[in-house]
Structure 1
Amino acid sequence: MKRLRMFVMGTRFNRFIMGLIIVNAILIGMETFPAIYQRFHAPLMILDIVILLIFAIEVALKIAVLKKSYFSNPWNIFDFVIVLGSVILYSTPFVSVLRIFRVLRVFRTITAIPTLRRIVAALFMAIPTISSVLLIMLIIFYVYAVLGTSFYGEVAPEYFGNIFLSFITLFQIFTLESWASGIFRPIFEQEPSAWLYFISFIVIAAFIMINLIVGEIVNNAQKISDEVEEDTGEIKTDTSEIKELRKEIREIKQMLQQK
């Protein structure tokens, strides 16, 4: 059992699974090309079945080794659900659902790489703050949508004809997609003061709010990294102490043998 545990939790086995995840992602991408899919349909299906079988064996081995503690890790539950769903739906008529599970296998890359897990964990930790920022952004969007409808509803009815069109227009401006040539300049020709409306919205919504979200995620990622470094430092300290104890035991044995 110890050998099996060392094998399953070992670096080589994890790298092998990581390689399979990448190969699986490449195969799924190749299937999106009709010419390749029609020509190599049978080999692609066989490879997909083999990869799924290996994933199922991996999950089964980890459950056998870790037992109940396997399900204490959310990432393990994520892997288990994806693999189990793929196995159950493989021979069923629910092709669309099966495709979703097959594509979700690519997300197993996150479970295999610790740094990616830290980033996702930081993102989840930032959800309370992000929700507050999104609420502020919704208020900003609403205020500017009302102002845009009031000021430019007659000038550009296709963009600011009503509050719903204003919301869509503001979202386009927020993404900075063709806002200057498509929306701003035609309105600016008739309303020279429009620059104040557009620039203030971009500065507040696109720059300040997004930086708040990014900053919160970065801070959480830094916290997780600091915690990992502290845990690693403790492990290194414990390891050095164990080495010193072993050294002292050897010296005591040598002294006893000499007597």
Structure 2
Amino acid sequence: DRWAMSAEEAFLYERVNIAFATLYYLEAIVKIAAFGVFSYFEDVWNRFDFCLVLTSLLELFSSIGLFPVPPMWLRVLRVFRILRTLRLLKGAKELRDLVVTIILSFPALLNVASLLTVTIFVYAILGVQLFTFLSHDVAHYSTHNGINDARNFEWIGSSMLLLFQCLTGDGWSNLMADAMLSNESGKCSEASGD
């Protein structure tokens, strides 16, 4: 799936997708028949496979027009195709253990992300209070493009975005240069009233 596919490529892509999806459906049906419904769903990997089968079935129904799905949700369903590669983890125990460890660490990562969000929020409020009137006029940021209409301290959302940019180290020097006291930039100078 890519941008500007020719009609032949799109046709071939859809046929290959249907063929592999059919193989997944058959595999799930054979496993359910062999193990029984309850035994099949006891295994976590079988539940994972079944969820993938359901998402591909939903995508198939939407592509042939039986079940209309909004385009945004269709893109989300296509992302689930990537998860099919995780089926390969059944055989590789070390890799499977690594993925399970990553999955089990998500709650701790959510705690760290919440703490980081609260910290950014507090500093964003402080930035709005201290630097609200920092100029971000088009004529002033033409050389650095650090502080602009999207990243500034005028409201909490743009302030959080600016602080996240500083946190990741993405172009923080441009932000610093735009906020410096200098006659060239006109940002925090007495002449501009900032």
- Place the TM-score, normalised by the shorter chain, in its bin: 0.5 to 0.7
Contact kept in structure 1, 2:127 and 2:159, CA below 8 Å: yes
**Which of 170, 173, 176 pairs up with 2:169?**
176
CA shift in 2, pair 1:126/1:186, >3 Å? same
Does 2:125 match 1:146? Answer: yes
Question: Offset at 1:107?
Answer: 0.5
Please list the CA deviations of residues 188-236 of structure 1 after superposition, one character each: whole Å capped at 9, or x if unmatched.
Answer: 235xxxxxxxxxxxxxxxxxxxxxxxxxxxxxxxxxxxxxxxxxxxxxx
Question: Offset at 1:75?
Answer: 2.8
Contact kept in structure 1, 2:55 and 2:80, CA below 8 Å: no
* Percent identity (aligned): 27
Residues 1-259 of structure 1: pairs in structure 2 closer than 5 A: 31-36=1-6, 38-67=7-36, 68-87=38-57, 89-90=60-61, 91=64, 92-94=66-68, 96=71, 97=73, 100-113=76-89, 114=92, 115-156=94-135, 159-181=152-174, 183-189=175-181
How much is the aligned-residue C-alpha RMSD, in angstroms?
A: 2.6
CA shift in 2, pair 1:75/1:63, >3 Å? same
Partners of 2:12 and 2:117 in 1: how far apart? 50
Partners of 1:77 and 1:186 in 2: how far apart? 53
Partners of 1:40 and 1:136 in 2: how far apart? 47
Give the secondary-structure state (helix, strand or coil) at the position aligned to 1:148: helix
TM-score, with normalisation over the residues of structure 2? 0.67
Aligned residues: 158
Please list every run of 5 or more consecutive structure 1 residues that lacks an aligned counterpart in the other structure: 1-30, 191-259
Contact kept in structure 2, 1:111 and 1:117, CA below 8 Å: no
Contact kept in structure 2, 1:86 and 1:98, CA below 8 Å: no
CA shift in 2, pair 1:46/1:130, >3 Å? closer
Please list every run of 5 or more consecutive structure 2 residues that lacks an aligned counterpart in the other structure: 137-148, 183-194
Q: Please identify the structure whose Cα radius of gyration is greater.
A: 1
Partners of 2:11 and 2:117 in 1: how far apart? 50
Question: Offset at 1:109?
Answer: 0.9
Partners of 1:77 and 1:44 in 2: how far apart? 27
CA shift in 2, pair 1:117/1:39, >3 Å? same
